């Protein structure tokens, strides 16, 4: 099969409240950063995919509001309602279709402008569930409880994810919330929804990220050495909460298995060098690692304590600081992709991992990880 590569990335700084930039202004900044990174002009882009959410943006057909700023005029432009990782998958498919050579993919949101609890409550089924008043935080808290009950993972181990990722963010100038904190700081922060404390949860954030994906026939014509997409897959679990084994993420296990197979990865624990995953809540980092086979069942917390997922550990996870240090919903998956691309290029600056030939980026859609998208990126084609 033909191959595609990521040849440019651009990200705005993630901030609590971007009062000087609209959605389109954020897209303008991220797109121009990506073009500069790639050594391209907008004329080198032959199609555009934007990712956004109408509910988060507070407008109908939200993608239409960022097309101009994304240079989509006179181009074929399409959109994804969901995490940017799925936009990147769509953008890659377009490059591999034979119809396009270079796709610009953007993802944006401003959490600061809506009310997260109401927006995520609306993800629940209106007939059977919504009126009960749960939202993303309480849904994920329920999953955290299930996971801890099944595996024996402790609140201290969850807290250590927060300590590590906020600490990593100290080395990432784009992160919103770099913090030097202790496990005790996390455990004594306010209880939000048992068992999740305030510092177990990602903050409300604004941001936009852009990536440029190219078909192999043109991928080496621009400034950057291409980072090759070796595998990508996404799978979804049941919509109704009570249908799922909430302590697990079977859709992620399946998506990872398929992505590894495409990339020819047989022993993910040995072959993957860096991971950026969807850590909207601390427990998720541990659960997702186990489901992706990057930690054996019920061991991620213990491996974390041994320092294996630290920047200088066996497998750096969320070296950028992750979503715990800044979580622009929808853009999140593109930030993960862009961070892995920078790692593989050796461009990650202060949070550069020692070895970063093969990386994994992960995006999530839906309540408590209903749907997962896994990318395997590699320096080699």
Partner 1 sequence: MSQFPDIEPMVYHSKINVPYRWWAGNTASRFYAALRDEKIIMGTKCPACGRVFVPPRKACPTCFTENMQWVELSDEGCVLSFTVARRQFAAIPKNRKTPVIWGLIKLDGADTALLHYIDEIAPENVTIGMRVRAVFAATRTGAIQDIAHFQPIK
Residues 6+ apart with CB under 8 A from 193: 137, 138, 141
Closest CB to partner 1 among 32 and 269?
Answer: 32
Closest approach of partner 1 to the CB of residue 93, in Å: 25
Closest approach of partner 1 to the CB of residue 142, in Å: 4
C-alpha span between 197 and 190 (Å, rounded): 5
Contact between 295 and partner 1 per CB under 8 A: no
Give, in order, the Cα–Cα distances in Å from 144 to each of 152, 172, 294: 11, 27, 19
> How many CB atoms sit inside 10 A of residue 3's CB?
17
* Sign of the CA dihedral running 193, 156, 374, 80: positive
Contact between 241 and partner 1 per CB under 8 A: yes
Closest CB to partner 1 among 246 and 263?
Answer: 246
Contact between 243 and partner 1 per CB under 8 A: yes
Contact between 143 and partner 1 per CB under 8 A: yes
Contact between 46 and partner 1 per CB under 8 A: no
- CA 109 from centre of chain: 13
Tell me if residue 149 falls in helix, strand or coil: helix
Cβ atoms of residues 268 and 256 within 8 Å? yes
C-alpha span between 290 and 279 (Å, rounded): 13
Closest CB to partner 1 among 116 and 262?
Answer: 116
> How many CB atoms sit inside 10 A of residue 36's CB?
13
Closest CB to partner 1 among 139 and 229?
Answer: 139
Closest CB to partner 1 among 78 and 112?
Answer: 112
Closest CB to partner 1 among 85 and 331?
Answer: 331
Contact between 190 and partner 1 per CB under 8 A: yes
Contact between 23 and partner 1 per CB under 8 A: no
Interacting residue with partner 1 among 115, 152, 305, 381 (CB under 8 A) = 115
- 224 is written with which tokens? 């950057």
Contact between 19 and partner 1 per CB under 8 A: yes
Binding span for partner 1 by CB under 8 A among 16-24, 38-46, 206-214, 327-335 = 16-24
Q: What residues from 49 to 88 belong to the interface with partner 1 (CB under 8 A)?
A: 58
Cβ atoms of residues 279 and 301 within 8 Å? no
Residue with tokens 């202060």: 350
Closest CB to partner 1 among 73 and 118?
Answer: 118
Helical axes 155-169 vs 136-151, angle rounded to 10° = 120
Contact between 274 and partner 1 per CB under 8 A: no
Binding span for partner 1 by CB under 8 A among 75-83, 172-180, 188-196, 317-325 = 188-196
Q: For residue 195, is the peptide bond before it cis, meaning its omega torsion is within 30 degrees of 0?
A: yes
C-alpha span between 22 and 41 (Å, rounded): 23
Contact between 134 and partner 1 per CB under 8 A: yes
Contact between 128 and partner 1 per CB under 8 A: yes
Residues that bind partner 1 (CB under 8 A): 12, 19-21, 29, 58, 115, 117-118, 120-121, 125-129, 131-135, 137-138, 141-146, 149, 190-195, 238-243, 246-247
């Amino acid at each position: 099969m033909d191959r595609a590569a990521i040849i440019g990335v651009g990200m705005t700084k993630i901030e609590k409240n971007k009062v000087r930039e609209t959605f389109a202004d954020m897209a303008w900044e991220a797109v121009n950063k990506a073009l500069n990174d790639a050594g391209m002009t907008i004329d080198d882009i032959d199609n555009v995919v934007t990712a956004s959410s109408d509910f988060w943006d507070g407008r109908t057909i939200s993608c239409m509001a960022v097309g101009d700023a994304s240079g989509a005029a006179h181009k074929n432009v399409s959109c994804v309602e969901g995490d940017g990782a799925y936009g990147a998958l769509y953008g890659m498919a377009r490059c591999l279709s034979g119809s396009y050579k270079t796709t610009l993919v953007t993802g944006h949101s401003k959490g600061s402008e809506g009310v997260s609890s109401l927006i995520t409550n609306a993800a629940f089924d209106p007939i059977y569930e919504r009126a009960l008043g749960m939202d993303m935080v309480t849904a994920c808290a329920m999953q955290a409880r299930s996971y801890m009950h099944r595996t024996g993972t402790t609140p201290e181990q969850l807290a250590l994810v927060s300590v590590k990722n906020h600490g990593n963010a100290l080395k990432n100038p784009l992160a919103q919330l770099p913090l030097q904190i202790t496990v005790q700081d996390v455990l004594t922060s306010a209880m939000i929804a048992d068992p999740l404390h305030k510092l177990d949860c990602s903050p409300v954030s604004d941001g936009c990220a852009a990536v440029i994906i190219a078909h192999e026939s043109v991928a080496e014509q621009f400034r950057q050495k291409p980072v090759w997409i070796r595998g990508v897959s996404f799978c979804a679990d049941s919509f109704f909460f009570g249908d799922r084994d909430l302590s697990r993420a079977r859709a992620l296990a399946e998506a990872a298995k398929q992505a590894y197979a495409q990339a020819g990865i047989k022993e993910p624990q040995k072959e993957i060098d860096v991971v950026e995953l969807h850590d909207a809540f601390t427990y998720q980092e541990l659960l997702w690692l186990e489901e992706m086979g990057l930690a054996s069942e019920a061991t991620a917390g213990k491996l974390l304590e041994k320092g294996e997922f630290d920047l200088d550990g066996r497998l750096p996870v969320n070296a950028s600081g992750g979503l715990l240090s800044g979580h622009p919903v929808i853009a999140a998956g593109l930030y993960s992709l862009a961070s892995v691309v920078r790692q593989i290029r050796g461009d990650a600056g202060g949070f550069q991992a020692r070895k970063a030939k093969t990386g994994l980026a992960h995006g999530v859609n839906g309540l408590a990880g209903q749907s997962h998208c896994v990318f395997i990126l590699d320096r080699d084609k």
